[in-house]
Amino acid sequence: MATSAHDAAATARAPLSARISWMLFDWSVQPFYTLILTFLFAPYFANIVVGNGPEGQSMWGFAAAIAGVLIAVGSPFLGAFADGRGQRKPWIALFSVILAAAMASLWIATPAAPMATIYLVLLAFVCATVCAEYTAVFTNAIMPSLVPHSELGRLSGAGWACGYFGGLASLFLVAGLIVPMGDSGKTMFGLEPLLSLDTVAREGDRIVGPLSAVWYLVFMIPFFLFVPDIRQKRAHDGRPATAELWDTVRALPGNRDMLLFLVARMIYTDGLTAIFTFGGIYGASVFGWGPLELGLFGIILTLIGAFGALIGGVLDDRISAKFVIITALVILLIGAFGILSVDANHVFYFVEVAPKAAGSGPFSSVGEQVFLGFAIVVGLVSAPVQSSSRSLLARLAPRDKITQYFGLFAFSGKVTAFLAPLLVALVTAVSQSQRLGMSAIALFLMTGIALMLPVRMPAPRD
């Protein structure tokens, strides 16, 4: 791959205010993934809004698959258009407004909602997912202009850790202080909520969307104030963005390492997507977890994930992004097998244990404790996989086409990402077994490991 003159020059470290403000994007958007996609709203939707765990999981999975297709199709074209025709911040602003509006719309998800409302909720979920990923394409493309290449791993890891801490803080505030959880009228910590909400109408669960929208808009302000946009646009000789994107795609077979990496990421991200999409739903269904258990589960995994991202970022710069990705995937595979070994009456597939007693405390049963242990393993390594994938792409891509390549990066993460949720949804719908539905995850992780092994790390540019 040809290297531009801009690539050859060392990148100066941006001011601390710019780097921190860039990391605040991860902080701002994380409540969507933590509160809505994983721990609070998704289980509420499946079990209360739809009223049937397997059916709700199936519907959520189909919606996630649709969002994945839209992200895969749109991201590369947006990246190609932006590289030669303007700055990134206007695009970030556009998709931020849509993202916030979609999250706020989740308020309409009432218990046992009519089918028309359920479809509107799923539409809002699809819009929010798509806009969150489109926004990330442009924010990721700004990353290589903020630090030298030798520091990309730490910046990416610190950003990912900032996101996890943002998820933890939002979960603590929303579930622990602001809103009542479930039917108790108390917060997750047994306190009187700061907001007086109708527990029968489950307003505490529904307001997660609007609060996530406010959080996002407030904490994105420093990004727009302090993060420098791309300093100059690349000449595009009047050709349409589709032609430039086609040139980039045609050149991929000549860049073996980039091609292998993108295909590997395409596969292993499928497994990650399935774990994030259905992990909370699975735990809630197997053990009958309510908002208290889900909130504590989210706090534990989010805190573990933040430290995992920081450790992974240091190892990325000191050893290599490839080492971090492969090691994390192997550990993630072990954790996924462990999670699937647990059901209401068994651990490690065959060892019988007493089921969770009615009215018992959070994580009081052996099954819950084993499930939580394996989930902690997954949480520790999932962030380094994503963070080091981002830094490796930034190292491999030419600077003058960085947004195009981050568009392809998003494409690789989504073009088949619908397969894992779709397969989980289909198997769950046919078998009426959430455990069987999630069993395909391991195949995606193992294939990703095999494809990453031959990838060669690029020589340092700085």
CATH number at residue 289: 1.20.1250.20
Name which of 14-18, 221-225, 345-349 the model is least confident about: 345-349
**Any domain includes 155:** yes
Per-residue pLDDT, 400: 76
- Three-class SS of the chain: CCCCHHHHCCCCCCCHHHHHHHHHHHHHHHHHHHHHHHHCHHHHHHHHHCCCHHHHHHHHHHHHHHHHHHHHHHHHHHHHHHHHHCCCHHHHHHHHHHHHHHHHHHHHCCCCCCHHHHHHHHHHHHHHHHHHHHHHHHHHHHHHHCCCHHHHHHHHHHHHHHHHHHHHHHHHHHHHHHCCCCCCCCCCCCCCCCCCCCCCCCHHHHCHHHHHHHHHHHHCHHHHHHCCCCCCCCCCCCCCHHHHHHHHHHHHHHCHHHHHHHHHHHHHHHHHHHHHHHHHHHHHHHHCCCHHHHHHHHHHHHHHHHHHHHHHHHHHHHCCHHHHHHHHHHHHHHHHHHHHCCCCCEECCCEECCCCCCCCCCCCCHHHHHHHHHHHHHHHHHHHHHHHHHHHHHHHCCHHHHHHHHHHHHHHHHCCCCHHHHHHHHHHHHHCCHHHHCCCHHHHHHHHHHHHCCCCCCCCCC
Residue 4's pLDDT band (boundaries 50, 70, 90)?
very low
pLDDT for 145 beyond 90: no
Helix (H) or strand (E) holding 347: strand 346-347
d(CA 130, CA 197): 30
Buried b (16+ CB within 10 A) or exposed e, 202-235: bbbbbbbbebbbebbbebbebbeebbeebeeebe
**Any domain includes 351:** yes
**Any domain includes 97:** yes
Q: What is the mean pLDDT of residues 68-90?
A: 80
Tokens of 34: 């933590």
Q: What is the mean pLDDT of residues 263-278?
A: 82
pLDDT for 3 beyond 50: no
d(CA 321, CA 385): 9
**Any domain includes 461:** no
pLDDT tens readout for residues 375-405: 899 989 998 999 999 999 999 988 778 888 8
Range of the domain at 156: 14-452
d(CA 367, CA 289): 12
Per-residue pLDDT, 84: 60
Using CB atoms within 10 Å of the CB of residue 251, give its burial: 0 to 12 exposed, 13 to 18 middle, 19+ buried.
middle
Q: What is the mean pLDDT of residues 273-295?
A: 74
- Cβ partners under 8 Å of residue 362, min gap 6: 292, 293, 296, 368
Split into its structural domains, the chain has a count of: 1
Percent of the chain with pLDDT over 90: 37
Per-residue pLDDT, 392: 94
Residue 214's pLDDT band (boundaries 50, 70, 90)?
very high
pLDDT for 248 beyond 60: yes
Task: Supply the DSSP string of 142-193, one letter for each residue.
Answer: HGGGTS-GGGHHHHHHHHHHHHHHHHHHHHHHIIIIIS--TTSSS-TTSPPP
Helix, strand or coil, per DSSP, at residue 27: helix
Residue 155's pLDDT band (boundaries 50, 70, 90)?
very high
**Any domain includes 5:** no
Residue 85's pLDDT band (boundaries 50, 70, 90)?
low
**Any domain includes 165:** yes
Beta bridge partners of 347: 351
Per-residue pLDDT, 53: 79
Residue 357's pLDDT band (boundaries 50, 70, 90)?
confident
| Cα–Cα–Cα angle for 194, 292, 376, rounded to 5 degrees | 125
Percent of the chain with pLDDT over 70: 90
**What is the pTM for the complete model shown?**
0.80
Answer whether 306's CB lies under 8 Å from 377's CB: no
pLDDT tens readout for residues 173-191: 888 888 876 667 788 778 8
**Any domain includes 436:** yes
Q: What is the mean pLDDT of residues 203-223?
A: 95
**Any domain includes 137:** yes
Question: Higher confidence at residue 420 or residue 162?
Answer: 162
Answer whether 48's CB lies under 8 Å from 110's CB: no
